[in-house]
Amino acid sequence: MLAGVACSVALGACFSEGARDRGSVAEGGERSPWFIEPEAPLPIDSTEPTPEPLQAIRVNEGGDIPVLEPLAVTELGALFPASAALVGVALVPGSDRPYVLDARAGLYELTGDGAKLVFDLPASRVLGGSADGAPPAELTDVAFDIWRFQAEGTLGFALTAENDGFLLSLPSGSLTSHFCYLPPATDWVTTSTPSVSQELREQGIQVAERTEAVAVSDLSGQIFAQPRTVRMDGAGVAGSELFLFDTGGGQPVGTRRFERIDFVAGGAAFLGQLALVLGSGDGLYVTLGWADDVQRVATLSGVREITGIATLPSGNLLVLDGPNERLLEVDALDLNASAARLGL
């Protein structure tokens, strides 16, 4: 059985359909182990003590890790130009028609006739940012924004780029700057767990942040990203973290570091309310709460690199293998069985 930190929940329950009511409690009335109340951050020059940070996230690779064969495979190579870099996949609730993100071209909807470009990145503009409105050169991941879909009825997506996160509502030719994991230095604040980039910039070291995995909780609407901090002085990757943003965007309300600075997720998705699945390389990893570690639960057969994850209406995972230009359906019951054997 898979247990969460704040509440004991079988993974099968975690993979069930999300709660109808948006909020901080899971089904059964127990508080979600993922929910973090936004707190008023302290100014940089504050003398007030901050809470002790959580320990770094361990990435557990041990145990009997099964190699899973996909239930179904969709070949994408013929639908996209040879120059395409497929870096993300998203699904609208109740639909099995995926949206696939090409890093430099934009967002495509897969139809029965092929792939239709529904958001043209080079032709777009950025609203609400601090720059000149020009779009980023590339996007790195996409997740459907279930919160705004249910609250406002908009067909919206959360997208990431280097140093910034955006919202996109279709049909639209504009991105809206929404969540930022590298704000201007003058806007930086001290949180209970200062990020790697915050500490470095306070030392005068310039950095860049890149996340290739973003997910939106269908319980709280909060946005999760997995950025890595790269030093611009040539010293390489300085840290790997998990960030949590409130529905209002802005700066993260929570940050946690991974013990391994080389851990990088290429995709992320929530299965049900509590199970956050991260895809790294050819592996699927699960964590059940903000204070939990990460456990590898499966290796995907024939996968070169996971570059996107979404959840199908059936509860199964839809996994994008970008380099091989394939979508794979992965059985959630197989993940459940693996997680149970590993003691989650």
pLDDT exceeds 70 at position 171: yes
State what percent of residues in the chain have pLDDT above 70: 82
Question: Is 6 inside a domain boundary?
Answer: no
**Per residue in 139-168, pLDDT tens?**
999 999 988 888 888 899 999 999 999 999
Scan for tokens 């057969």, then name that residue. 301
Task: Give counts: helices (H), strands (E), the chain.
Answer: 4, 23
Give the domain CATH number at 120. Answer: 2.120.10
Least confident range of 14-23, 175-184, 189-198, 204-213: 14-23
Q: How far apart (Å, rounded) are the C-alpha atoms in residues 325 and 85?
A: 9
In the structure encoding, which two tokens stand for residue 146, read together?
């279930």
* Mean pLDDT along residues 188-211: 79
Q: How far apart (Å, rounded) are the C-alpha atoms in residues 320 and 326?
A: 6
Q: Which ranges constitute the DSSP H helices of 94-142?
A: none
Question: Is 3 inside a domain boundary?
Answer: no
Q: What is the pLDDT of residue 5?
A: 26
Q: How far apart (Å, rounded) are the C-alpha atoms in residues 157 and 118?
A: 12
Q: How far apart (Å, rounded) are the C-alpha atoms in residues 84 and 41?
A: 41
In the structure encoding, which two tokens stand for residue 343, read together?
């003691």
Of 88, 103, 34, 57, which Cα lies nearest the Cα of 239? 57
Question: Is 30 inside a domain boundary?
Answer: yes
Q: How far apart (Å, rounded) are the C-alpha atoms in residues 143 and 223?
A: 9
Of 175, 169, 92, which Cα lies nearest the Cα of 137? 175
Question: Is 44 inside a domain boundary?
Answer: no
Q: Which domain holds residue 315?
A: 11-37+55-341
Query: Is this prediction's pTM over 0.75?
Result: yes
Scan for tokens 């239709």, then name that residue. 116
Question: Is 2 inside a domain boundary?
Answer: no
Cis peptide before 136 (omega within 30 of 0): no
Q: How far apart (Å, rounded) are the C-alpha atoms in residues 287 and 332?
A: 15
* Mean pLDDT along residues 105-110: 98
pLDDT-based confidence at residue 30 (cuts at 50, 70, 90): low
What's the number of domains the chain is made of? 1
Question: Is 48 inside a domain boundary?
Answer: no
Question: Is 144 inside a domain boundary?
Answer: yes
Question: Is 49 inside a domain boundary?
Answer: no
Length of the chain measured in residues: 344
* Mean pLDDT along residues 275-292: 95
Count Cβ neighbours within 10 Å for each residue of 61-82 and write b for 16 or more, e otherwise.
eeeebeebebeeeeebeebbee
**Per residue in 47-71, pLDDT tens?**
655 556 678 999 999 888 999 999 9
pLDDT-based confidence at residue 37 (cuts at 50, 70, 90): low
pLDDT exceeds 90 at position 90: yes
pLDDT-based confidence at residue 220 (cuts at 50, 70, 90): confident
Question: Average pLDDT over the chain, rounded to whole?
Answer: 84
